[in-house]
Structure 1
């Protein structure tokens, strides 16, 4: 059996691919920023001194980590519509991705917090630092520095997982590919183009995170420690 590749038809839709790549990056950026903030908040709650906050964040983390992302997207998209709050596919997809990655970020950051030596925390408390200053100056900086590679991988995986949002018609790369292949009848070529696009986006994201690490962790830059 012989198959003749012809990329001309799908490549003619390059503006659609470009716009969809922008949507994918937009979803990923919003989910990364807000998911990081949510994850850090939950990690602090799980390691804090208020039992009710610890239990609440634990329930959230376990519920999200043990259910499929696709189901979570459907719950957000169709659940909000069922109570009369209609949101577009992009907003619902962003909310679902934030909720999902926030749970995984929480576990990663919690591991970093628990790796901070207890003596370091006790020394800061002896100096009279407030709880806020203790967290922002003593606990979180070294904790996030230790788990930064894991966070980077998690957010790259999040960008790849955003393809699932095509199921609710969010016009990202996979949704655009589904439409283009149905119009051109060149399925293999279309999905090969999209696969290459995801590969490029992954490399760009890793480069951005790598550059950000040099600004965020000057100690590692001085020591030449790889991230």
Structure 2
């Protein structure tokens, strides 16, 4: 094997890599916020909503969890275009990723809600808390606290899965890397650099989630419970 490793042509494309990195971070940030909010609301609907709403949410969750993300992205992004709704490709990617991750978030948060003891709801009622206060302080917050490690892992996976939307034209990190390797013909070096960047992003996302968890859940901070 006479292959000579040369990372110079790849690293010289750092402006493109930086643009792709920023796009990946933007996708991850927007989708994380939208996915957590949407998934939490759907989880509440799934556990406490009217029967027809529970059926709708369950159907949505089953469809999303049993179809590939790439097909969902194609269907949503090009489906909008076919219906006459012209939206920026980045917004379309955020919508597709949010629709996907919200289904998994719904199941994770639902498991947290169902793990709560009925006595907690009875105590909230005895204290005279309103329905909104009960859902926010007695249901959602403790439920999210219990499943926070699972949510962290899910959103690290979201950041990694964002590479799939390069197939629909989004110039995120993986899409940019493909462009670079087609110009430099240094396939191995490109994907070594890409792997290092994704690994670094994964560590950063996990650290940020841990810091957010320590800020949101003082009990875990006091107990020193790992997130």
TM-score range, shorter chain: over 0.9
Rounded to whole Å, the distance in 1 between the matches of 2:110 and 2:141 is 13
| Secondary structure at the counterpart of residue 37 of structure 1 | helix
Structure 2 spans left out of the alignment, 5+ residues: none
Q: What residue is the counterpart of 2:8 in the other structure?
A: 8
Q: What residue is the counterpart of 1:168 in the other structure?
A: 168
Q: CA deviation digits over 1:77-135, x for unaligned, max 9?
A: 11001011122221111100000000000000000001111111122123332211111
Rounded to whole Å, the distance in 1 between the matches of 2:189 and 2:37 is 39
| Secondary structure at the counterpart of residue 47 of structure 1 | helix
Q: CA deviation digits over 1:31-71, x for unaligned, max 9?
A: 10001111001100000141111111111111111110000
Q: CA deviation digits over 1:114-163, x for unaligned, max 9?
A: 11111111221233322111111111111100100000000000000000
Rounded to whole Å, the distance in 1 between the matches of 2:209 and 2:77 is 30
Q: What residue is the counterpart of 2:111 in the other structure?
A: 111
Are residues 1:183 and 2:216 paired? no
Rounded to whole Å, the distance in 2 between the matches of 1:89 and 1:11 is 27
Q: What residue is the counterpart of 2:91 in the other structure?
A: 91
Q: What residue is the counterpart of 1:23 in the other structure?
A: 23
**In angstroms, what is the RMSD of aligned CA positions?**
0.9
| Secondary structure at the counterpart of residue 67 of structure 1 | coil
Q: What residue is the counterpart of 1:47 in the other structure?
A: 47
Rounded to whole Å, the distance in 2 between the matches of 1:36 and 1:29 is 11
| Secondary structure at the counterpart of residue 86 of structure 1 | coil
Rounded to whole Å, the distance in 2 between the matches of 1:47 and 1:218 is 26
TM-score (norm 1): 0.98
Q: What residue is the counterpart of 1:222 in the other structure?
A: 222
Rounded to whole Å, the distance in 2 between the matches of 1:8 and 1:65 is 42
Are residues 1:82 and 2:56 paired? no
Are residues 1:102 and 2:102 paired? yes
Rounded to whole Å, the distance in 1 between the matches of 2:132 and 2:56 is 21
Q: What residue is the counterpart of 1:126 in the other structure?
A: 126
Runs of 4+ in structure 1 over 4 Å off: none
Q: What residue is the counterpart of 2:213 in the other structure?
A: 213
Q: CA deviation digits over 1:152-204, x for unaligned, max 9?
A: 00000000000000001101011001100000111110111111100000011
Rounded to whole Å, the distance in 2 between the matches of 1:96 and 1:117 is 35
Count of residues in Structure 1 that have an aligned counterpart in Structure 2: 227
